[in-house]
Amino acid sequence: MRLQSSLLFFVGKAILFLIAIAIVWHFISPAYNDLLATTANLFHPAHTKIVSYGQDTLRVYLSGSFRAYEIYGLDLQYGLLIVLALIAATPGLRLMKRFKFILIAFIIMFLIHIASILVFAKVAYSAKTATISSNPFVVFFCIIGPDLFPALVWMALAFRQFFPKPESNDVKPQKQK
Amino acid sequence: MGKKQKKETQRRWARRVSRDKKKQTKPGYIARLRPRIQSVVAYIRRNWTVAKVCLVFAALILIFLLIYSKWLTGRAPLDDLRRITAHLTASVLNFFGGHVKVDGTLVHSNAFSFEIIEACTGVIPMMIYVAAVLAYPSTIKLKKTGLFHNIIFLRPLGVLLELVIVSLLDWRKWLGIVLGLLVLYAVNIVRMVTLFLIGTHFHSFFNVAHYLIWQALMILVAIALWLLWTMRLAHAAPK
């Protein structure tokens, strides 16, 4: 019962943090989008240009064509908010460690966002006029990734603090001589 | 022996000695890397259960990814789920006094309308949840036949086969998956209903609620359900 109440308390705290961060992030997201576009352009695949468009959209332009593929920035960015909310709500973390984890998570998520944009641009370039929404790479990075990566990053950083240790009947490996 | 020959042999010796010295002081790249590889292997061996969970989880995500991109996107099962989601959303809204109509996957009223796309069915958090439940180690004992475990190349196949058999036998996994999927789908309907209400009454707040809050909340609910499952069911005594 204690475990469930602590879980409920953790989830409640995470939701509150998430709402607070989301409201603040709404004002930061255009700047973050610009940062993503600028950084992605440093590594962008040949013959494409990534431009931050409007408030929250990233456009991938292909050279020799007026056609642009769009990624909605917030569609990528919400993953970052989940990690920040989860780390902020994780019980048993000291303040300095929490800030350290937040910084690490931010950097990892930023790199994942850049990788996602670059993969999207690469697929958009090789697809030219074909539809790209069912491409496995686009599905992985731009559809499953924003949900999957934050959970993985949080697990990797904070599982020692919170996770139940998995038990199994595996034979324990022998000690190395 | 002439002077020239003597000098040549001396030079050769000097070269060989310096080469040996270099070898002694600076081991090769692979030799330097070996202890690190050994420590990584030892770490994985120590945490083999966790490593197995991660590997199986990654494999399941890859399988789901293929299913989603090849057989679900733009195909009948997901289109049906979109229509069902649209109908359920409209039903709930109408139950609470709204005047909402459904046109295929389009939910609309006089003030606001939205279309239920694939991501709006909550299928991605569901997939991640199912993969996490299936990958979590079961406490059910399984006699290893050694059929695949003795052949190193077939060992991953053996692990996967073992996982499938254990998952089929473990009622706690099935219960966790069924209950979890029901809760996730119910939360998704709540999400659609609240988004429609926000779109109707607080339109400027719609993007924040849609992209930043509810999408993140769905995955948060999936994580919470998985943690609850591991706490309540995964460690329950096997029947």
Q: What count of other Cβ atoms lies within 10 Å of the Cβ of residue B231? A: 15
Cα B143 from chain centroid? 27
Tokens of B149: 């475990």
Residue A175 has pLDDT above 70, yes or no: no
What does each C-alpha distance from B109 to A10, B91, B112, B193 come to in angstroms?
37, 13, 5, 13
Residue A73 has pLDDT above 90, yes or no: no
User: In whole numbers, what is the pLDDT of chain A averaged over residues?
Assistant: 79
3-state secondary structure of B202: coil
Give residue A177's pLDDT.
Answer: 45
Give the HSE-up count for residue B157: Cα atoms under 13 Å, Cβ half-sphere.
Answer: 8
For β-strands B113-115 and B106-108, DSSP reports them as antiparallel
Residue B147 has pLDDT above 60, yes or no: no
| The residue to which tokens 């006699």 are assigned | B143
Higher-pLDDT residue of B45 and A172 is B45
Give residue A108's pLDDT.
Answer: 93
User: Would you place residue B237 in the very low, low, confident or very high pLDDT band (cuts 50, 70, 90)?
Assistant: very low
What's the pLDDT tens digit per position in B88-103? 999 999 998 888 899 8
Q: What is d(CA B66, CA B71) in angstroms, rounded to the nearest whole number?
A: 8
Asked if residues B232 and B191 have their Cβ atoms less than 8 Å apart, the reply is no
Cα A6 from chain centroid? 26
Chain A from 98 to 137: CB within 8 A of any B CB: 133-136
Q: Choosing among B217, B218, B226, B231, which should be mutated to test the A contact, i.e. which has the most A CBs within 10 A?
A: B217
Give residue A146's pLDDT.
Answer: 86
Residues forming a β-bridge with A57: A53, A72
Higher-pLDDT residue of A81 and A49 is A81
Give residue A102's pLDDT.
Answer: 93
Residue A168 has pLDDT above 60, yes or no: no
- CA dihedral B198→A22→A116→B215, nearest 10 degrees, is -40
Give residue A50's pLDDT.
Answer: 76
Supply the Cα-derived Rg of chain A in whole angstroms.
20
Q: What count of other Cβ atoms lies within 10 Å of the Cβ of residue B166? A: 19
Tokens of A5: 């109440």
The model's pTM is 0.79
Looking at beta carbons, which residues of chain A come within 8 Å of B137?
166-168, 170
Sheet order of strands, A57-62 included: A48-53, A57-62, A68-72
Average pLDDT over residues A114-141: 77
Residue B238 has pLDDT above 50, yes or no: no
User: Would you place residue A56 in the very low, low, confident or very high pLDDT band (cuts 50, 70, 90)?
Assistant: confident
Give residue B38's pLDDT.
Answer: 84
Give the gap in angstroms from C-alpha A151 to the nearest C-alpha of chain B: 7
Q: Choosing among A1, A131, A144, which should be mutated to test the B contact, i.e. which has the most B CBs within 10 A?
A: A144
Helix axes A2-43, A73-89, angle to 10 degrees: 140
Higher-pLDDT residue of B151 and B34 is B34
Q: Taking CB atoms and an 8 Å cut-off, how many pairs form between chains A and B? A: 129
Residue B211 has pLDDT above 90, yes or no: no
- CA dihedral B161→B166→B168→B172, nearest 10 degrees, is -150
Lowest mean pLDDT among A130-144, B7-21, B152-166, B205-219: B152-166
A24 to chain B, any CB pair closer than 8 A? The answer is no
Nearest beta carbon to residue A151 from set B73, B212, B219: B219
Give the gap in angstroms from C-alpha A75 to the nearest C-alpha of chain B: 6
Average pLDDT over residues A104-123: 88
Supply the Cα-derived Rg of chain B in whole angstroms.
30
What does each C-alpha distance from A72 to A33, A117, B74, B109, B164 come to in angstroms?
10, 11, 20, 26, 38
Nearest beta carbon to residue A78 from set B49, B216, B232: B216
User: In whole numbers, what is the pLDDT of chain B averaged over residues?
Assistant: 82
Give residue A45's pLDDT.
Answer: 65
Asked if residues B226 and A7 have their Cβ atoms less than 8 Å apart, the reply is no
Give residue A100's pLDDT.
Answer: 92
For residue B204, the 8-state DSSP code is G
Give residue B194's pLDDT.
Answer: 94
Give residue B195's pLDDT.
Answer: 94
Residues 6+ apart with CB under 8 A from B70: A134, A136
What's the pLDDT tens digit per position in A16-50? 999 999 889 888 888 888 888 888 888 876 667 77
Query: For a pLDDT cut of 90, what percent of chain A falls above it?
Result: 19
User: Would you place residue B234 in the very low, low, confident or very high pLDDT band (cuts 50, 70, 90)?
Assistant: low
User: Would you place residue B130 in the very low, low, confident or very high pLDDT band (cuts 50, 70, 90)?
Assistant: very high
Lowest mean pLDDT among A103-112, B28-37, B175-184, B190-199: B28-37
Q: Do A151 and B73 touch (CB under 8 A)?
A: no
A4 to chain B, any CB pair closer than 8 A? The answer is yes
Q: What is d(CA A88, CA A10) in angstroms, rounded to the nearest whole number?
A: 10
What is the predicted ipTM? 0.81
Give residue B152's pLDDT.
Answer: 61
A92 to chain B, any CB pair closer than 8 A? The answer is no
**Distance linking the first and last C-alpha atoms of chain B:** 90
**Considering Cα of B21, then B22, then B26, then B28, what sign does the dihedral take?**
negative
A67 to chain B, any CB pair closer than 8 A? The answer is no
Q: What is d(CA A111, CA A122) in angstroms, rounded to the nearest whole number?
A: 16
Asked if residues A134 and B74 have their Cβ atoms less than 8 Å apart, the reply is yes
What's the pLDDT tens digit per position in B105-122? 899 888 888 889 888 888
Asked if residues A37 and A45 have their Cβ atoms less than 8 Å apart, the reply is no
A144 to chain B, any CB pair closer than 8 A? The answer is yes
